[in-house]
């Protein structure tokens, strides 16, 4: 007994030491991260470095937060004099802050509405409107956990039926019809949705409402309607763990997080399309621009009903917005460099690698770059 | 002469300490008042501002499922935790040998130091899958009891799982408090009972439990307070819906107020934020009422306990 007590004491001491070590290493790395030039020297390869100096502040979409983090880190290596801040406040708050003139760019899951465009933008020259570019494309995968099945084909109506609680067994005719040769079990379906409000839910239900308005009758929503039942889970990780933890579960998450789970290919035109970066970028190209906007406003109405072969319609598209004509000309120069980096092949790849977004297509890049070049 | 003099002498230390203690005491009231004022002021726009999509049927229709969920989850937690806590406390104070009792005491205290987010993770990844077969069994064999009816969740992230997680979370503080109370049972009462020929169980029934009754009640209320306000673990584990549902094994569970705030706040904007704060005010009121009832019970029972 005495020995155990002593051992406990010893362990306590060890734990304390380990704790000290953790704190010390945190403090040390904290310093290192701030020393951008040092990081650059360690990189080995000499990089072309700009001599821009200044700070750009932005806020908005939290869906884009991981991408913004990656962009900022990479951008600041190329531009050691520039500090970019991005506060993931949520899209609504982000747009409001831009309208108040508190930020010089913003990220948003939805484009400017007409009321906002009719108002004033204090950061921009009076009477000029902001640009907006759909340069954050994030495919949403429909994932499921079913023994031995890694892919299923479904049309939009079936997906809507499952998430609306109307199709509740895997052996249902609607699923079997599009999956000949697949041995579907007689098992209850548990549809998992986000219990927190999220842009992922909004875009997913926007798809359901567009392709199956008679099944999914409540339109695009962020808070799940309780009459549709199903199971709620917190955040992307929550949905992933609920789907992988259950049997016969199905859910929707950022495609980059789908892991080893089975995924659904949805019906587009005459074929079935699984998610992929190219397929996600393709649907943005195939979708019409919102009418009556300025030439530098690429607000896009994502065509969820697209029949373009190889386009994947369940995507979350976020916009980056900024002034076309800044009151502060120095700011314009910084944002031009920042925007150019965001749409560049390198910028899009950085986000794809660290945050799992889908890089934009070359044609969208050309259009976006032309708009960014005009920033004054 | 000298006696009165020593009474009136006030050294610097006395003054400083008295004031420090005074401010410490007042700071509690001040904090409480600030929080209450914040909740009140920030709640108002939820009622005066533009209509909020989430509460289009009115504020009470919005908050009622969450009130129910909060109370329901806490009651389940308490039903599980109270007998367990009494058992642990009795074992530590009256049965276990001293060394083992000490070890057990440390372990119970250690449980209290685990952060709720870890309990949440454990609930999702370990407890829920572990309990699920039991849930299926309960539903198949005891499904005629309304509590166990309905379509069983495939993931085990149900009200009962949350109740169990909460019970484990409130257990340490309850067990520790009850143990302290039991240890204070007057030795004479216990020995008198034993001298009259009581067995150990009879002695506990006659001397320890009556003496500790108020302690048990205060411990339960303390546990209830913690369970009512627990946020992270519930938000992570529970599969919520905005419904009132007594069944504890299904996917549609009434969410708790605190968890609902945690889930909805990050993306809330405009006066939806105020609506969430207003639900926080309701939780504040519930907690206060619970505490007042507890005070009242304790003060009413004090004269019957063996303490005097």
pLDDT digits (tens, 9 = 90+) for B185-223: 899 999 999 999 999 999 999 899 988 888 898 899 889
User: Over 80: is that where the pLDDT of A4 sits?
Assistant: no
Nearest to B155 among A8, A229, A242 (CB): A242
* Structure tokens, B133: 């077969």
pLDDT band at B81 (very low <50, low <70, confident <90, very high): very high
User: Chain A contacts of B251, Cβ < 8 Å?
Assistant: 190, 229-232
Geometric angle at alpha carbon B146, from B141 and B147, rounded to 5°: 85
pLDDT band at A47 (very low <50, low <70, confident <90, very high): low
Are A310 and A173 contacting, i.e. CB atoms less than 8 angstroms apart?
A: no
Nearest to A1 among B99, B129, B157 (CB): B99
* B58 compared with A86, residue with greater pLDDT: A86
Q: How far is CA A328 from CA A56, A375, B198, in A?
A: 12, 12, 89
The Cα angle at residue A47 between residues A45 and A52, in degrees rounded to 5: 155
pLDDT at A245: 86
Query: Cα angle at A66 between A62 and A68, to 5 degrees?
Result: 85
What is the end-to-end Cα distance of chain B in Å, rounded?
A: 37
Q: What is the pLDDT of residue A92?
A: 82
- A27's CB contacts (< 8 A; 6+ apart) are none
Does A192 sit within 8 Å of B252, measured CB to CB? no
Phi-psi region of A292 (alpha: psi -120 to 50; beta: other; left: phi over 0): left
Which residues numbered 178-207 in B keep a CB inside 8 Å of some CB on A? none
**Cα A281 to Cα A275: distance, rounded to the nearest angstrom:** 10
Lowest pLDDT segment from A260-269, A338-347, B107-116, B191-200: B107-116
- Residue-level pLDDT at A32: 40
Which residue of chain A is at minimal alpha-carbon distance from B155? A246
Which of A209-223, B52-66, B125-139 is predicted least confidently? B52-66
Question: For position A364, what pLDDT does the model report?
Answer: 94
Candidate from B151, B241, B263 with C-beta closest to A226: B241
Across the interface, whether the CB atoms of A90 and B267 are under 8 A apart is answered: yes
Question: Which residues of chain B are within 8 Å of residue A8 when distances are taken between CB atoms?
Answer: 106
Please tell me which residue of chain A has the smallest CA distance to B156. Answer: A246
| φ and ψ of A107, to 5 deg | -115, 135
State both tokens at B132.
């699920």
Q: Who contacts B198 (Cβ-Cβ below 8 Å, separation ≥6)? A: B206
Yes or no: say if A123 and A323 are a contact pair by the CB < 8 Å rule: yes
Indicate whether A44 pLDDT > 50.
no
Q: Count the Cβ atoms, other than its own, within 10 Å of residue B89.
A: 27
In chain B, where the domains are located? 49-300
Residues of chain B neighbouring A230 (CB-CB closer than 8 A): 251
In which band, very low, low, confident or very high, does the pLDDT at B52 lie, cut at 50, 70 and 90?
A: confident
Q: What is the pLDDT of residue B301?
A: 65
Share of chain A above pLDDT 90, in %: 64
Give the per-residue pLDDT at A243.
Answer: 92
Does position B306 have pLDDT exceeding 50, yes or no? no
Which residue does chain B place closest to A187, by CA atoms?
A: B154
In whole angstroms, what is the distance from residue A335 CA to residue A318 CA? 18
Pairwise CB contact (< 8 Å): B153 & A93: no
Q: Which residues of chain A make contact with B255, given a CB cutoff of 8 A?
A: 195
Beta bridge partners of A323: A130
**A163 and A25 in contact (C-beta within 8 Å)?**
no
Name the residue among A90, A238, A245 with its Cβ closest to that of B236.
Answer: A238
Nearest CB to B236; choose among A192, A234, A246 = A234
The C-alpha of B177 sits at a distance from chain A's nearest C-alpha, in angstroms, of 24
Greater model confidence, B18 or A27:
B18
Which CATH number is B49-300 given? 1.10.3720.10
Distance CA B308, CA B289 (A): 28
Local confidence band at B112 (pLDDT 50, 70, 90 cut-offs): confident
**What is the mean predicted confidence (pLDDT) over B62-83?**
95
> Which of B254, B155, B156, B236 shows the shortest CA–CA distance to A234?
B236
Average pLDDT value for chain A: 86
Q: Which of B54, B239, B269 sits opposite A231 (nearest CB)?
A: B239
Q: What is the DSSP letter of B204?
A: I
| Nearest residue in B to A109, CA atom | B267
Range 250-269 of B in CB contact (< 8 A) with A: 251-252, 255, 263-264, 266-269
Residue of B nearest to A234 (CA): B236
Q: Is A44 left (phi over 0), alpha (psi -120 to 50) or beta?
A: left
Provide the pLDDT for residue A159. 96
Band (pLDDT 50/70/90 cuts) for residue A2 is: very low
**SS3 label, residue A215:** coil
Confidence at residue A223, expressed as pLDDT on a 0 to 100 scale: 83
Contacts of A147 in chain B (CB under 8 A): none
ipTM > 0.90, yes or no = no
Q: Are B157 and A231 within 8 A, CB to CB?
A: yes
Pairing of strands A130-145, A262-268: antiparallel
> Which chain B residues contact residue A92 at CB under 8 A?
269-270
pLDDT greater than 50 at residue B18: yes
Coil, helix or strand for A109?
A: coil
Lowest mean pLDDT among A85-94, A181-190, B164-173: A85-94
- From chain B, pick out residues whose CB is under 8 angstroms from the CB of A198: 267
Chain A residues at the B interface, defined by Cβ less than 8 Å, are 1, 4, 8, 62, 90, 92-93, 96, 188, 190, 192, 195-199, 222-224, 226, 229-234, 238, 241-242, 245-249
Size of interface A-B (CB pairs under 8 A): 88
Token reading at A373: 């070049």
Residue carrying the six token digits 């303390």: B222
Q: Which tops the pLDDT comparison, B61 or B5? A: B61
- Write out chain B residues lying below 8 Å of A234, CB-based: 235-236, 263
Contact A247, A149 (CB under 8 A): no
Give the pair of three-digit tokens for residue A53.
């100096």
For residues B182 and A40, what is the distance between their CA atoms, to the nearest angstrom? 65
Q: Write down the residue that tokens 């991981």 correspond to.
A: A66
Q: Is the pLDDT of residue A352 over 70?
A: yes
Please give the mean pLDDT across all residues of chain B.
Answer: 88
Distance CA A201, CA A258 (A): 16
Within 10 angstroms of residue B155's Cβ, the number of other Cβ atoms is 26
* Contact check, Cβ <8 Å, A92/B240: no
Reported in sequence order, the residue ranges of chain B that DSSP labels E, i.e. its strands, are: 240-241, 253-254
Chain B residue numbers with beta carbons less than 8 Å from the beta carbon of A241 are 124-125
Contact B269 A231 (CB under 8 A): no
Whether the CB of B235 is below 8 Å from some CB of chain A: the reply is: yes
Chain B contact set for A247 (CB, 8 A): 154
Best of B97, B129, B239 to disrupt the A interface (most A CBs within 10 Å) is: B239
| CB contact (8 A) between residue B267 and residue A226 | no
**Poorest-pLDDT segment among A163-177, A286-300, B2-16, B87-101:** B2-16
- In B59-88, the residues whose Cβ lies within 8 Å of chain A are none
Per-residue pLDDT band for A34 (boundaries 50, 70, 90) equals very low
In this structure, what token pair is assigned to residue A269? 């035109």
Output the pLDDT for position A90. Answer: 81
State which residue of chain B sits closest to A223, comparing Cα positions: B54
Count helices and strands in chain A by DSSP H and E runs: 13, 11
Q: Do A4 and B157 touch (CB under 8 A)?
A: no
Are B129 and A245 a contacting pair at CB < 8 A? yes
- For tokens 């406040």, what's the residue? A89
What is the pLDDT, as a whole number, of residue B6?
58
The more confidently predicted of residues A17 and B6 is B6
Which residues of chain B does A190 touch, with a Cβ-Cβ cutoff of 8 Å? Answer: 153-155, 251
Whether residue B54 lies within 8 A of chain A, CB to CB, comes out as yes
Answer whether A195 sits within 8 Å of B239, measured CB to CB.
Answer: yes
Residue A31 CA to residue A44 CA, distance in Å, equals 20
B126-155: pLDDT as tens digits: 999 999 999 999 999 998 998 998 888 888
Partner-chain contact A226 B251, CB within 8 Å: no
Nearest CA in chain B to A198: B267
> Is the pLDDT confidence value at A85 over 70?
yes
In chain A, DSSP assigns E strands to 54-60, 82-87, 105-108, 130-145, 151-154, 190-194, 231-233, 249-254, 262-268, 271-273, 315-323
- Does pLDDT of B38 surpass 50? yes
Q: Confidence band (pLDDT; 50, 70, 90) for A5? A: very low
Task: For an interface test with B, give the residue of A232, A237, A244, A251 to mutate (most B CBs within 10 A).
Answer: A232
Element (H, E) at B27: helix B12-48
């Amino acid at each position: 007994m005495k020995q155990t007590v002593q051992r406990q004491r010893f362990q306590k001491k060890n734990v304390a030491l380990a704790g000290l070590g953790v704190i010390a290493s945190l403090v040390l790395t904290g310093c290192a991260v701030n020393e951008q030039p040092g990081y650059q020297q360690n990189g080995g390869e000499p990089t072309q470095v700009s001599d821009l100096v200044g700070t750009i502040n932005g806020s908005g979409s939290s869906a884009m937060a991981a991408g913004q983090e990656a962009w900022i880190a990479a951008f600041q290596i190329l531009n050691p004099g520039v500090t970019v801040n991005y506060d993931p406040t949520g899209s609504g708050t982000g747009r409001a802050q831009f309208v108040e003139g508190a930020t010089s760019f913003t990220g948003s899951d939805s484009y400017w509405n007409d009321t906002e465009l009719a108002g004033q933008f204090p950061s921009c020259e009076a009477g000029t409107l902001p640009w907006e570019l759909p340069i954050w494309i994030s495919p949403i995968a429909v994932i499921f956990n079913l023994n031995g099945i890694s892919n299923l084909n479904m049309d939009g109506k079936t997906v809507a039926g499952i998430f609306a609680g109307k199709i509740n067994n895997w052996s249902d005719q609607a699923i079997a019809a599009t999956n000949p040769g697949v041995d579907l079990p007689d098992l209850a379906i548990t549809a998992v949705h986000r219990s927190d409000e999220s842009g992922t839910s909004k875009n997913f239900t926007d798809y359901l409402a567009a392709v199956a308005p008679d099944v999914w009758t409540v339109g695009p929503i962020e808070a799940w309607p309780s009459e549709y039942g199903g199971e709620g889970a917190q955040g992307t990780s929550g949905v992933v763990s609920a789907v992988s933890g259950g049997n016969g579960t199905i859910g929707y998450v950022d495609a980059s997080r789908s892991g080893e789970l089975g995924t659904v290919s949805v019906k587009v035109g005459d074929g079935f399309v699984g998610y992929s970066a190219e397929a996600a970028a393709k649907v943005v190209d195939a979708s019409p621009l919102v009418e009556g906007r300025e030439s530098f406003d690429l607000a896009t109405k994502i065509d969820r009903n697209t029949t373009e072969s190889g386009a994947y319609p369940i995507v979350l598209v976020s916009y980056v917005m900024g002034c076309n004509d800044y009151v502060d000309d120095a700011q314009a120069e910084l944002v031009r460099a920042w925007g150019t980096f965001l749409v560049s092949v390198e910028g899009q790849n950085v986000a794809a690698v660290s945050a799992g977004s889908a890089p934009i297509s070359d044609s969208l890049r050309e259009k976006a770059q032309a708009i960014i070049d005009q920033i004054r | 002469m000298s006696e009165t003099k020593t009474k009136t002498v006030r050294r610097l230390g006395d003054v400083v300490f008295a004031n420090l203690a005074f401010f410490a005491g007042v700071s509690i009231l001040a904090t409480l008042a600030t929080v209450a004022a914040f909740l009140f002021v920030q709640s108002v726009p939820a009622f005066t501002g533009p209509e909020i999509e989430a509460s289009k049927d009115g504020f009470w229709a919005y908050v009622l499922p969450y009130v129910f969920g909060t109370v329901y989850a806490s009651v389940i937690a308490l039903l599980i935790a109270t007998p367990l806590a009494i058992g642990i406390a009795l074992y530590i104070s009256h049965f276990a040998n001293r060394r083992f009792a000490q070890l057990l005491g440390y372990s119970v205290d250690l449980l209290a130091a685990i952060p709720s987010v870890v309990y949440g993770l454990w609930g999702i990844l370990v407890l829920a899958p572990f309990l699920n077969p039991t849930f299926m069994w309960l539903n198949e064999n005891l499904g005629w009891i309304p509590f166990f009816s309905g379509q069983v969740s495939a993931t085990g992230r149900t009200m009962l799982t949350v109740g169990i997680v909460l019970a484990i979370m409130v257990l340490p503080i309850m067990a520790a408090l009850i143990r302290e109370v039991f240890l204070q049972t007057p030795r004479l009462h216990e020995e008198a009972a034993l001298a009259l020929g009581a067995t150990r169980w009879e002695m506990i029934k006659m001397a320890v439990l009556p003496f500790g009754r108020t302690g048990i009640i205060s411990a339960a209320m303390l546990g209830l307070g913690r369970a009512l306000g627990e946020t992270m673990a519930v938000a992570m584990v529970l599969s919520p819906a905005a419904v009132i549902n007594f069944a504890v094994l299904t996917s549609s569970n009434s969410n708790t107020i605190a968890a609902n705030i945690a889930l909805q706040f990050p993306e809330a904007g405009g006066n939806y934020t105020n609506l969430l704060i207003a639900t926080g005010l309701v939780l504040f009121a519930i907690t206060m009422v619970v505490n007042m009832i507890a005070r009242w019970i304790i003060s009413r029972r004090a004269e019957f306990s063996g303490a005097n």
